[in-house]
Amino acid sequence: MSHRKVMLDIQRSWPQFDVVTARELTTAGIGDKLRRAGVKLGVLYKLRRGAYVRADLWDGATLAMRELMRIRAHFLSTPHAGVYTHATAARLHGLHVWDVPPLIHLSQPFASTRSARGPDTVTYHQHLDAADIVTLNGPRGERYAVTSPERTVVDCARTLEEHRAAIIGDHALREGADWEQMHSLLRAMTGTRGIRKARSVVAALDGRSESPGETRTRLLFRSFDVPMPEPQIHVRSRVGRHRGDFGWRGLKLIAEFDGKSKYFEYHPTDEAIYAERRRERALMEENWSFLRIEWRDLSRPWELKARLLRAMQRAAAWSGIRDNAG
C-alpha cells in the first residue's frame, strides 16, 4: 500500500480522539494489517502497546500536549492503573513541568503488573491517604486518580532537582495550592526519603513567579548572595502603572526575564515590543535602569552574577548622584 492510501484510509476512519486503543481502531475499521502499515510508513505512532496516535496529530502538538497523550495512552491501555503521582500528576494538573523526563509515575497499593510497569513507567508501592488523592476528568470522559496539588509538589520536591521541583511548586501556589497543607504533609512524612530536601524546596517557593524562567532566575538570585528583589514589582511612570519581573526599589533597578513567550504568545510581535520599549523609556525618565535576562543566561550563572553586580553598582552610583543633586 502507498503512503498516501494508508494515510487517507486511516484519516477517513479515525475516531474523534487523538490517542486511540487498538480495540477502538479495529472497531472503526482500522485493522491490524492497516495499523502495521501505518506504523511502518510513519502515518501512525505507537505510543505504547495497544495505544496509537496519528503522526499528524503528534507532530502538530506542543511538548506539553505530547506528554498528556503519553499519559492517556498509559491510562487507556493499562487496566486498574492506580494513582498518578510526581511529574505525571503535575502534568495532569496543568502545572509547568520543565526538563523532566516523560516517564509515567504511578502509585499502586499492590504489586505492579507488567503492563503497568513497562519501560516508560515508574511504579511506587505506597499508601496514600484519601485526602492526598483527587479525580481529574480527561478529554474523552476518562477519570484519572491523581495526587493532590500539594502532595504532588511535595513528592516532586523529594525527588527532583531543586529548580525543576520549584517550577512545579511555584505554579501550583499560583493556581491556588495550599501552602499550609504542604507543610502539614512535610511534617507527616518525617523520615521519608528526600524529605529534608523537600523542606528546603518548599521553603523557597514563591507563587508570584509567572514562568519557569522567572522561577529559575529567582533561585539564581538567591544563590548570588545579593539582596533579594521584590517579585512582580509595581511602579508608575507618565504612561501609567507598570509591572517588572524583579525590582530593587532602593536602587531603582528592574530585572526582566525575556522569554520568547513574553512577546509571541499574547500579542502581535510588533505591538508587544513597541509597548515594552515605550514602557521602558518612560521608566528610564524616572531614573529606573534595567537588566534583561534570557534563557541562555541561566546556563551561565557566573556571567549573570557579574552582570547583575555591575548593574547594581551602576544603579547605586546613579542613586548617589541623584541624592547629592537633591
Query: Tell me: the pLDDT tens digits for 104-123?
Result: 999 987 665 554 567 889 99
Q: Do the Cβ atoms of 254 and 289 come closer than 8 Å?
A: yes
- Residues spanned by the domain of 110: 78-203
Q: Which long-range contacts (CB under 8 A, 24 or more apart) does 177-186 make?
A: 177/149, 177/150, 177/153, 178/150, 179/205, 181/148, 181/150, 182/150, 182/153, 182/154, 185/132, 185/150, 185/151, 185/154, 186/154
Position 308 in a domain? yes
Question: What tens digit of pLDDT does each residue of 121-139 get?
Answer: 999 988 899 999 999 999 9
Place 262 in a pLDDT band, splitting at 50, 70 and 90: very low
Do 216 and 191 belong to one domain?
no
Q: Out of 42-46, 199-203, 274-278, which region has the weakest mean confidence (pLDDT)?
A: 274-278
Question: What tens digit of pLDDT does each residue of 166-177 get?
Answer: 999 999 999 999
Q: Is the pLDDT of residue 279 over 90?
A: no
Do 177 and 243 belong to one domain?
no
Question: What tens digit of pLDDT does each residue of 306-326 get?
Answer: 999 999 999 998 766 555 555
Q: What is the Cα gyration radius of the chain? A: 24
Do 233 and 303 belong to one domain?
yes
Q: What is the helix (H) or strand (E) element at residue 146, kind and residue range?
A: strand 143-147
Mean pLDDT of 47-76: 96
How many structural domains are present in the chain?
3
Identity (one letter) of the amino acid at 271?
E
Mean pLDDT of 267-294: 77
Identity (one letter) of the amino acid at 113?
T
Place 283 in a pLDDT band, splitting at 50, 70 and 90: confident
Do 154 and 114 belong to one domain?
yes
pLDDT of residue 236: 87
How far is the C-alpha of 29 from the C-alpha of 40, rounded, in Å? 18
Position 318 in a domain? yes
Residue 161: how many CA atoms within 13 Å on its side-chain side? 9
Which grid coordinates belong to 111?
504489586
Mean pLDDT of 201-226: 96
Q: Is the pLDDT of residue 245 over 70?
A: yes
Question: What tens digit of pLDDT does each residue of 34-54 get?
Answer: 999 999 999 999 999 999 999
Percent of the chain residues topping a pLDDT of 70: 89
Place 29 in a pLDDT band, splitting at 50, 70 and 90: very high
Do 96 and 185 belong to one domain?
yes
CA 233 to chain centre: 23
Angle between helices 179-188 and 195-203 (to 10 degrees): 160
Closest of 27, 125, 28, 141 to residue 82, by C-alpha: 125
How far is the C-alpha of 2 from the C-alpha of 6, rounded, in Å? 6
Closest of 176, 202, 177 to residue 189, by C-alpha: 202
Position 277 in a domain? yes
Question: What tens digit of pLDDT does each residue of 146-189 get?
Answer: 999 999 999 999 999 999 999 999 999 999 999 999 999 999 99
pLDDT of residue 265: 44
Closest of 59, 54, 5 to residue 25, by C-alpha: 54
96 contact partners, CB below 8 Å, separation of at least 6:
167, 168, 170, 171, 211, 212
Q: Do the Cβ atoms of 64 and 94 come closer than 8 Å?
A: no
Do 184 and 86 belong to one domain?
yes
Do 35 and 148 belong to one domain?
no
How far is the C-alpha of 69 from the C-alpha of 51, rounded, in Å? 10
Position 73 in a domain? no
Position 66 in a domain? no
300 contact partners, CB below 8 Å, separation of at least 6:
none
Percent of the chain residues topping a pLDDT of 90: 78
How far is the C-alpha of 263 from the C-alpha of 253, rounded, in Å? 22
Across all residues in the chain, what is the average pLDDT?
90
| pTM of the predicted protein model | 0.89
Q: With 0-12 CB in 10 A as exposed, 13-18 as middle and 19+ as buried, what is 244?
A: buried
Indicate the residue among 203, 228, 254 that finishes a domain: 203
99 contact partners, CB below 8 Å, separation of at least 6:
164
Length of the chain: 326
pLDDT of residue 285: 85
pLDDT of residue 254: 94
